[in-house]
């Protein structure tokens, strides 16, 4: 199959980490946050039930976000740069659609030559001293169904769309009429294996190319 719009999740898809869990570990809350993330990604609890709670406990500051941005790049999944280069060379509309924190993801997007306006994630806000203030409470990507909302917007302009990701929230893109490719190369989730239109388990993003071009 060939798609006009190609969307990627970030955490455990483009990078081997879950950003919010790494921020939690940095302040000694790793185990508790990992459990919450896993519940949301496996569809056991809705995303909005854990999103605000996690950030209010971690309260990531500007330095933490910069640190996480570097970690996303250091832990980039094999094949990501090659896949993005190939898709962009073919003038495909490529987007990152993530429930992660936008400022931490932007440097990774720059690393694969993706413009900032093709990164759809949750903005985080800081006080003047760089301490945590809040996040975008109105972002659809901080709640259940948000990825479907973004995919609907992207589908307005162009024909067919594929969403590639590792979590239950990525499967929501089906509600927008998207084809969903489950990526189990970092984390193998049975719910994603069950709900995706196609599922790959190889630890390289190159494994998705034959299914999206």
Catalytic residues: 9, 11
Q: Which helix (H) or strand (E) covers residue 166, if one does? A: none
* Helix/strand/coil percentages in the chain, nearest 5: 50, 20, 30
Which residues does residue 200 pair with via DSSP β-bridges, in sequence order? 183
3-state class (DSSP) for residue 189: coil
Burial of 63-73, coded b for 16+ CB within 10 Å and e otherwise, reads: ebbeebbebbb
Q: Where are the beta strands (DSSP E) in 63-169?
A: 93-101, 119-122, 124-126, 132-135, 161-165
The DSSP string of 136-168 is -TT-GGGSTTHHHHHHHHHHHHSS-EEEEESSH
């Amino acid at each position: 199959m060939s798609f006009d719009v190609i969307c990627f999740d970030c955490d455990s898809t483009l990078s081997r980490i879950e950003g919010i869990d790494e921020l939690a570990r940095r302040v000694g809350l790793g185990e508790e946050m990992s459990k919450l993330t896993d519940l949301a990604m496996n569809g056991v609890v809705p995303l909005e039930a854990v999103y605000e709670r996690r950030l209010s406990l971690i309260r990531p500051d500007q330095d933490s976000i910069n640190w996480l941005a570097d970690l996303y790049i250091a832990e980039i999944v094999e094949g990501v740069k090659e896949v993005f280069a190939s898709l962009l060379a073919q003038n495909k509309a490529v987007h990152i659609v993530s429930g992660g924190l936008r400022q931490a993801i932007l440097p990774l997007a720059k690393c694969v030559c993706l413009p900032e306006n093709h990164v759809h994630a949750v903005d985080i806000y800081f006080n003047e001293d760089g301490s945590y203030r809040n996040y975008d409470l109105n972002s659809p990507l901080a709640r259940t169904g948000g990825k479907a909302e973004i995919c609907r917007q992207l589908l307005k302009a162009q024909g067919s769309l594929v969403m590639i990701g590792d979590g239950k929230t990525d499967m929501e893109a089906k509600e927008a009429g998207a084809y969903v490719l489950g990526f189990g190369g970092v984390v193998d989730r049975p719910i994603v294996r069950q709900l995706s239109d196609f599922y790959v388990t190889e630890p390289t993003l190159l494994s998705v190319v034959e299914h999206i071009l």
